[in-house]
Structure 1
Amino acid sequence: MTNRSILAASGRTSSGRTASGRPASGRNVELIVFAVLVAGLTVAPLMVYPILLMKVLCFALFACAFNLLIGYGGLLSFGHAMFFGFAAYVSGYTIKAWGFPTELGILAGAAVAAVLGLVAGSIAIRRQGIYFAMVTLALAQMVFFFCLQAPFTGGEDGIQAIPRRPIFGVIDISRDIVLFYVVLAIFAAGFLIIWRTIHSPFGQVLKAIRENEARAISLGYAVDRFKLMAFVLSATLSGLAGATKAVVFQLASLTDVTWQMSGEVVLMTLVGGMGTVFGPIVGAAVIVVMQNTFTGFGEWVLVAQGCIFVLTVLLFRRGIVGEIVALAQRRRGDEDAAPPPVAELADKQPPSDRGGVRASAAAGPSEASAPVSS
């Protein structure tokens, strides 16, 4: 496919702006914000319990992986816990029973999650909307009962006392403070993979499928293949998060593979801001800190989570980060939101296409918005 087809599918213009006229310079801002975030996290263990920080990072990566699927692909999965939890079991078992090094155990969990994602995705993408969500939920329940009955998972007890072997045989992760920086590096790598995917041509086509699948098909894109690739990548990174969590807590249990875990990652993404880069990180931090703070209230934590979910859906549909971005855009005024002048578009077009651009502008807004055929 040509670059013009990608632009047409994603709603972007050749001037580097989106269809709404907003410049595409936000990538640098996102990288700066991420660099500041990582810099702040490097000193955070001096003030916050490292185990809590590592839990936030694991769930933040899980939520970011889920957001890649729902926020940018428009695919709602109610079964992402099967990748998160099953990878934890694989990682824990290979490290404890087979004597794998910690790094290989984590990679094994992510690899198995990728294979599971390929199988589940191949089945689920045959359906759309609520049917897609129900298929993922059904598959996740099958994985849950497998983990409950399989002999190597330990049943309701799970896999306990997973050893923390040195990373690469050199880095001693028996101390929480050292393990924290390893988890931070894993989170940063996973986040950057997602960020690069979002801003790649693949990511632009994925957004186009979310906005108008029929148009993407008409432009010649293999929509099911793009969906499957996004599903597998999301499953792999979810598995990476689950495998890392198993090492942090030295435990892989049924809690990680239940449907409630799938619901939690949906809640984290919605609270932080679906379809935003940093929203899942904020949402994961809010939910994990809330659970840790009110852990003494037992089951009432679930009631609080339900209330947060309802309030988010009713009052803050964009999520925390989404509302902040929307407020910043409103303050920026109508000038930045205005589409670029037609003359600017004409200058960016090849000489053979300029006449078509001017003719489209003269024909009126409805005709000018139609994609130019290559």
Structure 2
Amino acid sequence: MILSKLAGRPVLLAAGLFAALALPWMVYPPVALDIACWALFAAAVDLLLGFTGLLSFGHAAFWGGSAYCTGLIALHSGLPFPLAILGGAVFAAVLALPIGFLSVRLRGIYFAMVTLAFAQMVYFVANQWRDVTGGENGLQGIPRELFGVDLSDPFFFYYAGLPFVLFGLFAAWRIVRSPFGRVLVSIRDNPARARALGYPVDRYKLLAFVLSAALSGIAGGLFAISHGFASLQEVYWTTSGQAVMMVVLGGIGTLWGAAVGAALVVQLHDYLATAGFQEIGIVTGSIFIVVVLLFRRGIWGTARHFWGVRASRRSSGTPTPSTSEREAVKART
């Protein structure tokens, strides 16, 4: 079973890379880049929720704050867009330091509500500081320049921005599989025991919070450059809720599920908006309820669990029960 996992992991990574490269050939390129940005954002939220046990409703502050910062750098400095995105990610990480320092000592719904309150404070600042952020009009006309070359074609810009997403996803993957990530999982499962073993729990949570914010900043900055504007919607609390919904749909604590959830939600939004349907939230909410009720582990989590059960039965020599056998067992019980 271990050998099958080791053999299947490179195949899975290769399939994911191929899907990322082929995505703009299968869907409209701007939608493809939206899927990539939201996948990284959802993976950043999953790093905190699935592996640290902290549900944040305030990550819109880092996604949207980076979008504004990236837009301001690109508009007023003339730097290439990769440097503007990195500047936005640094801003998101710096912003996360005081927010995380005041929040990580709380747990459960209290942590979620405090992060939501901080995000709404960022929303208020962005709305009132009109001379810098543009207020309700937002920042418009954000350039896509790379060393003097204007990458206005969305197809080519997708491949110019894809390395940021791949780097962010790889960083999240390395974090959760490092000794640091294993400590985060132990804190999620039993913080009292982790503290008794000598780990500074609050410090680990703060570092995970800052890393998650930095990855969210990369995604938000790339999203702003892709669309050419940054608006108040990026820092509104519903943006955080949408990222959490993507994580739950795909599967909490899987990382791959973030990409699955992002692809499902973004594609559904694009399809309904193109069809002229106004109440998109009703459809996405209904799908969310169905998935939560029928697939408790999420779409990717359920598929991974099913595959793991079949692989373990094959390796142990236990035959997989047929449909008739399962029906017979139900009849006896």
Is 1:109 paired with 2:88? Answer: yes
- Deviation at residue 312 of structure 1 after TM alignment: 2.4
- Deviation at residue 317 of structure 1 after TM alignment: 1.6
Counterpart amino acid of residue 158 in structure 2: F
How far apart in 2 are the matches of 1:277 and 1:23?
Answer: 20
Q: 278, 296, 304: which one pairs with 1:325?
A: 304
Counterpart amino acid of residue 163 in structure 1: P
How far apart in 2 are the matches of 1:214 and 1:25?
Answer: 35
Q: 243, 254, 257: which one pairs with 2:235?
A: 257
Q: Indicate the residue corresponding to 2:204 in structure 1.
A: 226
Counterpart amino acid of residue 262 in structure 1: S
In structure 2, relative to structure 1, the CA distance for the partners of 1:141 and 1:24 (3 Å cut) is farther
- Contact 1:86 1:109 (C-alpha < 8 Å) held by counterparts: yes
Residues 202-228 of structure 1: per-residue CA shift (max 9 Å, x gap): 000001111111111111101111101
Q: Indicate the residue corresponding to 1:313 in structure 2.
A: 292
Counterpart amino acid of residue 144 in structure 1: Y
Is 1:158 paired with 2:138? Answer: yes
- Structure 2 gaps of 5+ residues are 317-333
Counterpart amino acid of residue 233 in structure 2: T
1:232-247 alignment to 2 at 5 Å? Answer: 232-247=210-225
- Deviation at residue 29 of structure 1 after TM alignment: 3.3
Q: Indicate the residue corresponding to 2:187 in structure 1.
A: 209
1:81-120 alignment to 2 at 5 Å? Answer: 81-120=60-99
In structure 2, relative to structure 1, the CA distance for the partners of 1:255 and 1:222 (3 Å cut) is same
Is 1:195 paired with 2:150? Answer: no
In structure 2, relative to structure 1, the CA distance for the partners of 1:232 and 1:177 (3 Å cut) is same
Is 1:294 paired with 2:294? Answer: no
- Deviation at residue 25 of structure 1 after TM alignment: 7.1
Is 1:142 paired with 2:121? Answer: yes
Counterpart amino acid of residue 249 in structure 1: H
Q: 64, 75, 79: which one pairs with 2:43?
A: 64
1:4-15 alignment to 2 at 5 Å? Answer: none
- Contact 1:172 1:178 (C-alpha < 8 Å) held by counterparts: no
Per mean C-alpha deviation after superposition, the further-off stretch among 294-303 and 315-324 is 294-303
Residues 180-199 of structure 1: per-residue CA shift (max 9 Å, x gap): 11221111111110101111
- Deviation at residue 39 of structure 1 after TM alignment: 2.0
Aligned-pair Cα RMSD in Å: 1.9
- Deviation at residue 28 of structure 1 after TM alignment: 5.9
- Deviation at residue 55 of structure 1 after TM alignment: 0.5
Is 1:73 paired with 2:52? Answer: yes
- Deviation at residue 138 of structure 1 after TM alignment: 0.3
- Deviation at residue 315 of structure 1 after TM alignment: 1.9
Q: 96, 99, 108: which one pairs with 1:129?
A: 108
- Deviation at residue 239 of structure 1 after TM alignment: 0.7
Q: Number of aligned pairs?
A: 315
How far apart in 2 are the matches of 1:212 and 1:336?
Answer: 32
How far apart in 2 are the matches of 1:41 and 1:265?
Answer: 19
In structure 2, relative to structure 1, the CA distance for the partners of 1:208 and 1:334 (3 Å cut) is farther
How far apart in 2 are the matches of 1:287 and 1:107?
Answer: 27
- Structure 1 gaps of 5+ residues are 1-21, 338-374
How far apart in 2 are the matches of 1:176 and 1:204?
Answer: 39
- Deviation at residue 47 of structure 1 after TM alignment: 3.3
How far apart in 2 are the matches of 1:27 and 1:78?
Answer: 35
